């Protein structure tokens, strides 16, 4: 298939990793549908890239269905999806626990992937296959004392990826996750000095976007969780002594 005939959906596409990936896909000749709660930023990005934009809260099941319906109506089908939208939890498990903040974090970071996958799969099947990449995090592969709720929903995305990968591959649909460390974005604003104090600079969004684009367009793998770290090539994480995909 010529890339000019390919359609990709990107959530959380108004900024950060989502925008960098949308730009990279558009640069490869892919037609991009952008989705984000930031209507102004998403519309600007779509205009820049010659794509389409729909305002979407990925924590809402019906909004995910509407997002995919919009993509198929405007572009004639859907081949790839990058389920990337994410937020920090800003919520501890102590006395300051806030149910609304907890629900929001789980809703965007986990429900957004579950609902997005549910909505996207029929569209990919209609095209005979395709690929999905979900944004997990390095926090999905290790413990994070500073934000255990964020780590919990990102671990869940890793588990979902490893569980779905093999079965969807039999349908010609590849499902993988990308697990970046601290990356330049709105979510890490103000954290640069803190992160660099550990001797690890923030990762540029383009490095993550390149890994995502590779997983969507080129990599013949499914059920893998690719970590992206500063100063190292992106590659699949090896789950030692655990049965199943790497």
The residue with tokens 């890339």 is 3
246 burial level (CB within 10 Å; 0-12, 13-18, 19+): middle
DSSP-H helix ranges across 61-131: 61-75, 99-106, 112-126
Cβ neighbours for 165, distance < 8 A, ≥ 6 positions apart: 174, 175, 176, 222, 223, 224, 245
Catalytic status, residue 150: yes
The residue with tokens 């790497």 is 246
- Give the phi and the psi of residue 115 in degrees, each rounded to 5: -65, -40
Using DSSP, state whether 208 is helix, strand or coil: helix
Q: Which of 80, 150, 194, 230 is catalytic?
A: 150
CB neighbours of residue 66 within 10 Å:
16
What 8-state DSSP symbol labels residue 202?
P
The residue with tokens 């000095």 is 193
Catalytic residue IDs:
150
């Amino acid at each position: 298939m010529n890339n000019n005939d390919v359609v990709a959906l990107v959530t959380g596409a108004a900024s950060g990793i989502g925008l960098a990936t949308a730009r990279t896909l558009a640069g490869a000749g892919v037609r991009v549908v952008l989705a984000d709660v930031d209507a102004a930023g998403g519309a600007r990005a779509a205009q820049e890239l010659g794509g389409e934009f729909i305002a979407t809260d990925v924590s809402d099941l019906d909004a995910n269905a509407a997002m995919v319906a919009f993509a198929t109506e405007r572009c004639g089908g859907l081949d790839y999806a990058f389920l990337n939208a994410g937020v920090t939890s800003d919520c501890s498990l102590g006395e300051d626990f806030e149910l609304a903040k907890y629900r929001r974090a789980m809703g965007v970071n986990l429900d957004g992937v579950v609902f997005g996958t549910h909505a996207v799969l029929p569209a990919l099947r209609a095209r005979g296959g395709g690929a999905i990449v979900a944004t997990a995090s390095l926090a999905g592969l290790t413990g994070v004392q500073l934000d255990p709720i964020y780590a919990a929903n990102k671990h869940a995305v890793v588990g979902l990826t490893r569980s779905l990968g093999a079965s969807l591959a039999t349908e010609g649909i590849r499902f993988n996750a990308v697990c970046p460390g601290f990356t330049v974005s709105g979510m890490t604003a103000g954290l640069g000095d803190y992160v660099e104090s550990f001797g690890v600079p923030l990762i540029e969004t383009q490095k993550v976007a390149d890994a995502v684009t590779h997983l969507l367009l080129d990599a013949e793998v499914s059920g893998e969780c690719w970590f992206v770290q500063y100063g190292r090539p992106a590659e699949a994480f090896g789950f030692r002594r655990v049965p199943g995909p790497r």
